[in-house]
Amino acid sequence: MVNSEYERRIAARFTTFDQDGNGHIDRSDFSGAAKALLAEFGVAARSDKGQALYGGAEALWQGLAGIADRDGDQRITLEEFVTGAVKRLRDKPDRFAEIARPFLHAALAVADPADDGTVTVANAARALTAFGVPGDAAGPVAAALDTDGDGRVGEAEVVPAFARWFTVPE
Ligand code: CA
Ligand code: CA
Ligand code: CA
Ligand code: CA
């Protein structure tokens, strides 16, 4: 049942994780997101960056499943997501940050073709688009990630932003 503003926002996050839109979150949603990002930046799956991204995606899935997949069927339903993941992590954004960090670290590396250790806001927007953020929203969201306003998006900005986004305040 999705009836409050709070529940509606949680459902929106569920939809974001359910990348293939089949109604539950499972491992393939995470590997699919990794694949989409690699395709956007033309990075091979078997490269070091590709392997790191798939490893991070698996770690993120395992972390979320460990918290939310209460019946252990390797799927997270909306109900499990609401009652498990969101409520248990809401008061612990640091824990979610650590679960997500390897994936975000690897994703930033993929979005940094020049390997100079920085990701432009434009490339961050491309990454968000690859993850299914609508085109007209990706730019503003990427710009908002650049909290220090230097035109670049870094891990120190992305990890806490992702944790804040995930841990919906009630
Ligand atoms: Ca899915
Ligand atoms: Ca389950
Ligand atoms: Ca760069
Ligand atoms: Ca910045």
126-149: average pLDDT:
95
Fold of 5-167: Recoverin; domain 1 (1.10.238)
pLDDT band, very low/low/confident/very high, at 118 (cuts 50, 70, 90): confident
Question: Does the structure show a pLDDT above 70 at 169?
Answer: no
Q: Which ligand is nearest to the CA of 83?
A: 2
Question: pLDDT value at position 3?
Answer: 63
pTM of the entire structure?
A: 0.91
Distance 123 CA to ligand 3 centre (A): 9
Domain ranges of the chain: 5-167
Place of tokens 């949603």: 29
Ligand nearest to the CA of 72: 2
Give me the residue label for tokens 């990348």: 19
Spatial distance between the Cα atoms of 118 and 23, rounded to a whole number of angstroms: 35
